Structure 1
Amino acid sequence: MTQELDAKVASGVREGRRRIPIRWMILGITSLLLVLNYADRAALGVAGSTIIQEFGLTKTEFGLISSIFFVGYAPFCFIGGWLSDKYGPRVVMGAAVGWWSLFTALTAAGTGYITFLIIRFFFGFGEGPQGAVTVKTMRNWFPQRQMGAAVGISQGSTPLGGAIGTPLVAGLIAFSGDWRTPFLVLGVLGLIMTVGYWVLMRDGPDQHPWATAEEREEMRAQAAAIGATGASETAATAHSIWYYIGRPHVLSTAFAFFGYAWVLYTFLSWFPVYLVDARGVHIKDVAVVGTLPWLLGMVGFMLGGFLTDWIAAKTGKPAAARRGVIIVGLFFTAVLMGCIGLVTSVTAAVALMSAVVFLLYLTGSQYFLMISDTIPAVRLGGVMGFVHFIANTSGIFAPLTVGIIIDQTKSWVLTFGVSAAIALLGVVVIAIWGRARALTA
């Protein structure tokens, strides 16, 4: 009797496991890594005023320290994506997390302008692959009808990292009296998470021992359906990566993504400094007011993914849905960004920046989805990596440009106006050249 009951319980557990696709665990693990990714990245901006004061840096020098990260980061967006096509997402992301966590911790060893430049340059190597590799992972695990949700949730975790990282870093600095403490804490946490990711992650359902039979069959059926339309290609039969990169909708998506990223990196690198220097906000209060834009950004990112999945299901035109949200969201992002420097109170500035980040991140998953909807899986990592690379070259120029403008003109109005103009240019480009046909229905 006992043996029969045990058998029934075990059978029920197995059935329950089959009913819950393991893809949601993969999404959860990836999302946690991206929370850490942006918490690590946001840490320098939050600690910026303290570091500038301790080491006597000019705004231009701190801008270059912020920008040098992207000199390492941007090429590894492409390199990481290309490597994920070759070796799989698990190997590439696992190595990337370990690398960026090590250099997060090493930031605490910075002793001046030159050492910060070196550390932040190598830190960028590890953070670069995350965007393309995440999209590759989601494409391997999720059917297209859920891709917007999967990319929206995973990439939407990046502003959550900023929302968590901002008060964490500010709080640790205020508590310990030392800006180095949060970098050590985040670095050690990242190294622990690297081990957990390697244990739990696999490149697709066919490689994962916990994947359900239904899950494996669904992804095989989707691959077969794509093959029936002639859109499924192997490494041997696909066009070269440069063929796909040269498509007008890929290049226009990359340019619009550049405008998006310029606004983002102006906010990421300088908004905490703006609050402290231009608005007189204390570092402790940055932990509160600096968190609100990130929280709204997280909502915007996730909402955007679900929204375009819904529009795509209604219209049968996924690529058009993604492009439409980019045009509308990025246009209003630019308008509100241009207004920030004109307001006269901290409350108004934070409210406007919160609205900017919400609208900006509403478009955030769409750039990834424009590519994942229209590029064969075998070339997806490399093409997405290229688009992410172009977008993140803005990170080389935006923080440095802001530093130069502030040093030379003292004008935050001009700073926010430049960001608005570049975002608007991205809207024009994708509106004219961004039409694309999805490879899958």
Structure 2
Amino acid sequence: MTEQVLASGTEESEVIRPRGKVRWKIAVLLGSGILINYIDRLSISVTQAPLSEEFGLSATEFGLISAAFLWSYAVMQIPAGMLLDRFGVKKVWGAAAALWAIASVLTAMATGAWVIILARIFLGVAEAPAMPGAMKASGIWFPRHERALCTAIFDSGTRLANVIGLPMIAFAVATWGWREAFWLQAALSVAFLVGFVKIYGGPKAMFSKSAVTEAEYEYIVAGGASAEDVRPADSVATIGYLLRQRKVWGLSLGLAGAGYVLWMLLTWLPGYMQTGMNKSVLQSGMYAAIPALVMFLAELTIGGYLVDRLIGRGADGNKVRKLTIVIGMLVAMLTVGAAFTQNATASIIWIALGSAGIALVYVTTNSLPALIAPEGSAGALGAIMNCINLLAGVAAPIVTGIIVDVTGSFQFAFILGGIALVGGLCSYLVLMGNIEPIPARAVTTGASA
């Protein structure tokens, strides 16, 4: 073996970096797909004003439209995880990307609010494999000691959607109209589909085609990556087994606490700036980009690079990752500060600071399925975690809309978000336990029975 992990078998050891960077190109490719996913799902928030005006929508009704995506997205998480574990990342992501484009086309051609709701539900189905697929791919392509940075790279697509996507969509809406913005989304999805089908493959398959060097391939395998899709013996039984694990519920409910606040911001931040702070559509898109930029930087520098650096230098991986999650949840509570100001600048500062904490929670938690799932079931574990998280996400835009209609402000919406964060922190501390591999499911054969 030309390159190896020193003191093999421990992710905390100093490592020798090999020549070859194909795995990082894969991480960027995954991040590009997540970026387009999040542009698709977030653009509806920028179009609140023109959509509400054209179709006569109240804040509660717009909240229902915003949540339509999340209903189907949440419900389809576990089926998507099973498909990923059964057919592999390339086939499932390729088929899904084609459906993203169709969903955007349906929205652009909508003749009424009900058509938009149907298109958003369809988009939720189409995008369900995205995040669990990226989690699964990280376990195929990356050694254990590099997965924090890999996760930070692909998860940063969720943040860049606000930094790049929302201002772009806001410009398209302000310049051409909201329908044209969705046509633009469809074009982005088609472009990604072409690139993904051409580039993506597993390390083993790409090594056999000389697209990956021997040094990099051996480095990936020696670091604990599977190097190819490993199918579980029984997908349904695997799901049931994972749902019986306390650790899985600790991760999922903890992420749901942060997810409630994240989805409140993703679906309502531009609308909050438009209706609560009297900003224009274009201005609201620019304001929404600020917290996302802070999240992007926090993910890459702290949640990605620093975590991998500490573990690579010998720090205990369980302690580093768990401490990052706890600190992230505490910092996330700063978003509550926005409830006590009527100044747009002060409000966005509180939200940006708190969003940095949410980013640390997400990037660390999203790296865990590939680290702790039994072999071949990272897609299923990521899907379960996402599903439970998204149930909170479904509630966030609806509850926020109701609060705004009833009280006329967003104050209590931010306070409720703080309560959700406290619940999530308790789940991480009480239920999750140590960050360590879940034992493989015992399979009883007919003979032994």
Q: What's the TM-score, normalizing by structure 1?
A: 0.89
Alignment of 1:257-336 (within 5 A): 257-303=255-301, 304-314=303-313, 316-334=315-333, 336=334
CA drift of 1:316 comes to 4.5
Equivalent of 2:401 in 363, 383, 403: 403
Q: 1:277-304 CA deviation, whole Å, 9 max, x = no partner? A: 1111111222322211111111122231
Question: Which deviates the most, 143-152 or 47-56?
Answer: 47-56
| Counterpart Cα distance in 1 of 2:312 and 2:397 | 39
Equivalent of 1:235 in 232, 236, 244: 232
- Could you tell me whether the CA contact under 8 Å between 1:319 and 1:370 is conserved in 2? no
Alignment-mate amino acid for residue 216 of structure 2: E
Alignment partner, residue 144 of structure 2 = 144
Alignment-mate amino acid for residue 312 of structure 2: A
Distance 1:437 1:403, change over 3 A: closer
Alignment-mate amino acid for residue 213 of structure 2: T
| Counterpart Cα distance in 1 of 2:118 and 2:225 | 48
- Could you tell me whether the CA contact under 8 Å between 1:21 and 1:212 is conserved in 2? no
| Counterpart Cα distance in 2 of 1:57 and 1:225 | 49
Of Structure 1 and Structure 2, the greater helix share is in: 1
- Could you tell me whether the CA contact under 8 Å between 1:46 and 1:273 is conserved in 2? yes
CA drift of 1:381 comes to 0.7
Q: 1:137-175 CA deviation, whole Å, 9 max, x = no partner? A: 111011111111101111112110221111111111111
Distance 1:234 1:196, change over 3 A: closer
- Could you tell me whether the CA contact under 8 Å between 1:261 and 1:394 is conserved in 2? yes
CA drift of 1:223 comes to 4.7
CA drift of 1:339 comes to 1.5
Q: Tell me, which stretches of 5 or more residues in structure 1 are unaligned?
A: 1-17, 227-232
Identical amino acids, percent of aligned pairs: 25
Alignment of 1:174-193 (within 5 A): 174-176=174-176, 178-193=177-192
CA RMSD of aligned residues (A): 2.2
Q: Tell me, which stretches of 5 or more residues in structure 2 are unaligned?
A: 1-17, 439-449
| Counterpart Cα distance in 2 of 1:252 and 1:92 | 28
Is the partner of 1:394 in helix, strand or coil? helix
Alignment partner, residue 114 of structure 1 = 114
Alignment-mate amino acid for residue 91 of structure 2: V
CA drift of 1:377 comes to 3.3
| Counterpart Cα distance in 2 of 1:43 and 1:222 | 39
| Counterpart Cα distance in 2 of 1:354 and 1:248 | 32
Alignment of 1:14-413 (within 5 A): 19-176=19-176, 178-207=177-206, 209=209, 210-223=211-224, 235-236=232-233, 240-303=238-301, 304-314=303-313, 316-334=315-333, 336-413=334-411
Aligned length: 415
Question: Which deviates the most, 216-225 or 319-328?
Answer: 216-225
CA drift of 1:245 comes to 3.1
| Counterpart Cα distance in 2 of 1:401 and 1:237 | 38
Distance 1:225 1:48, change over 3 A: closer
Is the partner of 1:390 in helix, strand or coil? helix
| Counterpart Cα distance in 2 of 1:48 and 1:426 | 29
Q: 1:37-67 CA deviation, whole Å, 9 max, x = no partner? A: 1112221001112111121101111100111
